[in-house]
A and B are shown apart, each in its own frame.
Chain A
Amino acid sequence: MSKFTILFAIARKEFVDHLRNGWIIAVGLAFAIFSLLITFVGFGFTGSVGIGQEQSTLFSLINLVIYLVPLLGLLLSYDGIAGEHERGTLDLLRSYPFNSLLLLYGKWLGLFMVLASTLIVGLTAPAIISIVSGHTLQAWTVLLVTSVWVGIVFNSIALMFSVLILERSRLIAIAIGIWLLFVVLFDLGVIGLLVSTEGNVPMDLVNLLFYLNPTALYRLLSIDLIMDQAMIQQLGLAGQIPPTVALIAAFAAWTVVPVVIAGWRIRRLGK
């Protein structure tokens, strides 16, 4: 019971801190503006509102999430532990009578709450427009869940580096580098591979590459869970998407493994 008290105390402090510094409102509203623009273009300018418009809007939002949410996750968490270190509170907290792992897990939980709140703020307005236009809540709920999840994956990765490096100035560069690698360079690399081999790449290898990039996993998982067959066909992905359970398992591994590495390190700080 006491462990949970400590865990939630750390998570609550993290959440309140980000609520007070304006992160949730500022970033949430910025995300809301982008997503509303996309929704407005999808539903407004294309004439009558219909299934096709909703599907293309959701697809556009998935791409918006791929660009923005990993960056949000990284910027939110890169100084999670390093910030405590530079503030002088990391040693203080490590001297307190609880296992240091609780500090990491509490941070992770708090950052999850911050990211989820930010995306709820960002996705609520377009979801309301969509639902008022006669569409279902289900697709939006799934989009919110997968979007929060991909953000959490990047929270985990950033927290891992935060424990390993403990130096904010280097971590910000690493965060930007990770974003460039997974969001920009990875796709370019895959396209380059396909072009250079004229498409003669085994599908298993392409799928394996997708497992190595959480944003690619997010795209496949969201398309798999949200898009209808017609849209999947249109995207040329019919029969190409790996099993849902495999995608979820890989996504879960991307969430958990960095935290495990961070946990291993935080227990050995100063040892």
Chain B
Amino acid sequence: MSLSQTASNSEQNREAEGITPVLSLSNVSKNFPGKKVLKSIDLQIAPGELVALVGNNGQGKTTLMKLILGLLNSDSGEILINGESATSNRSIAQKSIFGYLPETTAFYPNLTGLETLYYFADLKQESRSKVLEVLRIVGLAHAARYRVKTYSKGMKQRLGLAQALLGKPKLLLLDEPTNGLDPSGIHEFYQILGRLKNEGVAILMSSHLLAEIQPRSDVLVLLKDGVISANGTVESLICDAELPSIIKFHKGAGFNETLLDELLQQHTIEKTYNEHTDSFVLTCHPSHKQALLLSLLSADELISNLIVNDPGLEELFLQLNSGLEIT
């Protein structure tokens, strides 16, 4: 099954469940002078779903978000927000569902964090009493009365997230939101997203940090050269890509290379030996992994320190970006 088939299947599942997507894009394209940035984009995001948008720089991730927000006009295709066609200048009702965190936002250095959020709360017609609540949620309550110019990059990022949370958004569009956050900040950030997902908030998030996306996203969308080259759950994409599994081990107490070669003969693998670490590396098709492991475990006197490296998002990303056709 190809990756695009995976995508259409997941969309069919949503339709079958009768869930109206918060956002639906069909055949959306965008050109800039002399450059086609996005081509025939089809994408759906259901309530409570976290969709991760990945791709190298300049592949159209930010442009896609701006098209959704109505900051840019698409050249063709249709965008539906809560099932309704989005107008060129988004209606107030359509804009009300968004919470947006741009990639880089400097805010106003002379205002305090609290004043900044009061300002954005007023603009979103949100009660100012919510401001302290969102400051607490993003862990900035202690710095609420400091001027923004004294904030670190991570604190500004938290402030940005806080403004995005004002007004009870139904769709969060986060452009590389964990940039500048420290590891504990990233952990807290995903905890917040988890709670919002449980409340039914749909999230579209771009990021380069594949390791942090992999366990947290429901759907992964990979943009390459302006087209969606992969769309589906991380697990299904990795499975469909048939990326090789890697098994490493050291020599065991009863190591005998002839016995090892006899053992491995029955499997389709690639074996390499690393002199520096005095270890073997076996690369095999994922469908052969289980049988290979059973064989290795049956001869445990030959090997020690067995490590299995299953392919992850990073490997998938690299393979997809290398231009290989994955079917």
> Considering the complex, which residues of chain B in the window 102-117 have a beta carbon less than 8 Å from any beta carbon of chain A?
102-108, 110-111, 115
- Chain A residues whose CB sits within 8 angstroms of the CB of B93 once the complex forms: 97
Asked whether, in the complex, the Cβ of A97 is within 8 Å of the Cβ of B66, the reply is: no
Asked whether, in the complex, the Cβ of A9 is within 8 Å of the Cβ of B102, the reply is: no
Asked whether any CB of chain B lies closer than 8 Å to the CB of A30, the reply is no
- Contact A88 B102, CB 8 Å, known A13-B111, A98-B92: yes
A99 to B90, CA, bound (A): 9
- Chain A residues whose CB sits within 8 angstroms of the CB of B88 once the complex forms: 271
Asked whether, in the complex, the Cβ of B100 is within 8 Å of the Cβ of A2, the reply is: no
Asked whether any CB of chain A lies closer than 8 Å to the CB of B285, the reply is no
Interface size on B, residues (CB 8 A): 32
Asked whether, in the complex, the Cβ of A87 is within 8 Å of the Cβ of B115, the reply is: no
Asked whether, in the complex, the Cβ of A5 is within 8 Å of the Cβ of B125, the reply is: yes
Asked whether, in the complex, the Cβ of B122 is within 8 Å of the Cβ of A95, the reply is: no
Asked whether, in the complex, the Cβ of A94 is within 8 Å of the Cβ of B111, the reply is: no
Distance (whole angstroms) from the CB of B96 to the closest CB of chain A: 4
Q: Give the most central of A5, A10, A92, A93: most B CB within 10 Å.
A: A92
A93 to B98, CA, bound (A): 12
Nearest B-chain residue to A269, judged by Cβ: B71
Distance (whole angstroms) from the CB of A91 to the closest CB of chain B: 5
Asked whether, in the complex, the Cβ of A89 is within 8 Å of the Cβ of B123, the reply is: no
Distance (whole angstroms) from the CB of B220 to the closest CB of chain A: 24
Asked whether, in the complex, the Cβ of B122 is within 8 Å of the Cβ of A5, the reply is: yes
Asked whether any CB of chain A lies closer than 8 Å to the CB of B187, the reply is no
- Contact A13 B119, CB 8 Å, known A95-B98, A270-B66: yes
Stretch in A14-22, A129-137, A174-182 with 4+ CB within 8 Å of B: A14-22
Contact of A16 among B100, B115, B120, B123 (CB under 8 A): B115
Asked whether any CB of chain B lies closer than 8 Å to the CB of A267, the reply is yes
Asked whether any CB of chain A lies closer than 8 Å to the CB of B130, the reply is no
Asked whether, in the complex, the Cβ of B105 is within 8 Å of the Cβ of A88, the reply is: yes
- Contact A97 B96, CB 8 Å, known A16-B111, A270-B71: yes
Distance (whole angstroms) from the CB of A51 to the closest CB of chain B: 45
Asked whether any CB of chain A lies closer than 8 Å to the CB of B69, the reply is yes
* Interface 1/0 per residue, A1-36 and B, CB below 8 Å: 010011001100100110011000000000000000
A89 to B163, CA, bound (A): 11
Asked whether any CB of chain A lies closer than 8 Å to the CB of B248, the reply is no
- Chain B residues whose CB sits within 8 angstroms of the CB of A45 once the complex forms: none
A98 to B119, CA, bound (A): 14
- Chain A residues whose CB sits within 8 angstroms of the CB of B69 once the complex forms: 91, 94-95
Asked whether any CB of chain A lies closer than 8 Å to the CB of B95, the reply is yes
Contact of A271 among B73, B102, B163 (CB under 8 A): B73
Asked whether, in the complex, the Cβ of B71 is within 8 Å of the Cβ of A2, the reply is: no
- Chain A residues whose CB sits within 8 angstroms of the CB of B98 once the complex forms: 95, 97
- Contact A89 B105, CB 8 Å, known A9-B123, A21-B110, A96-B123: yes
Asked whether any CB of chain A lies closer than 8 Å to the CB of B271, the reply is no
Asked whether, in the complex, the Cβ of B102 is within 8 Å of the Cβ of A2, the reply is: no
Asked whether, in the complex, the Cβ of A91 is within 8 Å of the Cβ of B66, the reply is: yes
* Interface 1/0 per residue, B67-81 and A, CB below 8 Å: 001111100000000
Asked whether, in the complex, the Cβ of A270 is within 8 Å of the Cβ of B73, the reply is: yes
> Considering the complex, which residues of chain A in the window 73-124 have a beta carbon less than 8 Å from any beta carbon of chain B?
87-89, 91-99
- Chain B residues whose CB sits within 8 angstroms of the CB of A87 once the complex forms: 105-108
A269 to B66, CA, bound (A): 12
A2 to B105, CA, bound (A): 26
- Contact A92 B96, CB 8 Å, known A97-B125, A270-B71: no
Distance (whole angstroms) from the CB of A141 to the closest CB of chain B: 32
Asked whether, in the complex, the Cβ of A97 is within 8 Å of the Cβ of B71, the reply is: no
Asked whether any CB of chain A lies closer than 8 Å to the CB of B145, the reply is no
Beyond A87-B105, A88-B102, 9 additional pairs, beta carbon < 8 A: A17-B108, A87-B107, A88-B104, A91-B66, A92-B163, A95-B70, A96-B123, A267-B89, A269-B71
The 8 A-B pairs of least Cβ separation, nearest first, read: A9-B122, A20-B110, A97-B95, A88-B105, A87-B106, A270-B72, A97-B96, A95-B100
Interface residues of B (CB under 8 A from A): 66, 69-73, 88-89, 92-93, 95-96, 98, 100, 102-108, 110-111, 115, 119-120, 122-125, 163, 167
The 26 sampled A-B contact pairs (Cβ below 8 Å) are A5-B122, A13-B108, A16-B110, A16-B115, A17-B111, A87-B107, A87-B108, A89-B105, A91-B71, A92-B100, A92-B105, A95-B95, A95-B98, A96-B95, A96-B120, A96-B123, A97-B93, A97-B96, A97-B124, A97-B125, A97-B167, A98-B95, A98-B123, A99-B92, A270-B71, A270-B73
